[in-house]
Amino acid sequence: MARKFFNGTVKSVKALVESLNSFKVPGPEVVDVVVAPTFLHIPAVVDALRPEFKVAAQNSWVKGNGAYTGEITADQIADLGLEWVILGHSERRHIVKESDELTADKVAYALSKGLSVIFCIGEKLEEREANQTQEVNARQLQALADKISDWSKIVVAYEPVWAIGTGKVASPEQAQQAHAEIRAWLAEKVGKDAAEATRIIYGGSVTASNSKDLAGAADIDGFLVGGASLKPEFEDIIKAAAK
């Protein structure tokens, strides 16, 4: 469904947008394509990208406009006309050390400003090896459930940390199991309707060649794509997600 994290230059962003604009993919009635450039590149991408593709911010602050030097608020993102923000990416959680609670507060604030949120969760390698995948996902989901009751503008992105940027993609079976457990958690803790309606997308070394099998899994509703989103094969990933 989405794509992201591109520390590009003005020139490379322009070339990437031109490439995206040339894609022959189904429209938004079939698949949402959301691109997430750096804050610096957002205005240029919004101006040049074909309008059926949406633009997301990669992060937003936990509060509204105020004295928070260096932070970008959900208010500002909404003011720019954007509809989407990514929150809780593993790089925010594990490199910047943003806690489950801070992440949940950021999501709640972004929702209060009308944004839709791609809410990332997922376990580290040692947690998977200790059979804690669902425990970690449930903990990160519960932190959000403690802060919000309306999940209609949430897309859950399951991104096992060990699969991000490593070339080690989760197998369709591994991903499906995690997604099914996330959906079961939503059914139990939030409600059946939310569980059915919430899109759960997979991220972590998605490529054109593995996207078809992953998309075939019952509970995989799209992708959060990093590296491969910068290559022409992204067109095929979008087509695979449009199942």
Give yes or no for residue 178 binding ligand G3H (CB under 6 A).
no
Whether the CB-CB separation of 237 and 223 falls below 8 Å is answered with yes
Give yes or no for residue 122 binding ligand G3H (CB under 6 A).
no
Tell me if residue 179 is catalytic.
no
Give yes or no for residue 205 binding ligand G3H (CB under 6 A).
yes
Question: In whole angstroms, what is the distance from residue 168 CA to residue 166 CA?
Answer: 5
Which region among 40-48, 179-187, 200-208, 235-243 touches ligand G3H (by CB under 6 A)?
200-208
Whether the CB-CB separation of 239 and 25 falls below 8 Å is answered with yes
Which region among 11-19, 147-155, 175-183, 221-229 touches ligand G3H (by CB under 6 A)?
221-229
Tell me if residue 89 is catalytic.
yes
Applying CB under 6 A, among 227, 235, 242, 243 the residue interacting with ligand G3H is 227
Which region among 13-21, 102-110, 122-130, 198-206 touches ligand G3H (by CB under 6 A)?
198-206
Applying CB under 6 A, among 85, 136, 164, 217 the residue interacting with ligand G3H is 164
Question: In whole angstroms, what is the distance from residue 19 CA to residue 238 CA?
Answer: 14
Q: Which one from 41, 89, 98, 123 is the annotated catalytic residue?
A: 89
Token digits for 27? 């429209």
User: Which residues would be at the binding site for ligand G3H (CB under 6 A)?
Assistant: 4-5, 159, 164-165, 203-206, 224-228
Residues marked as catalytic: 89, 159
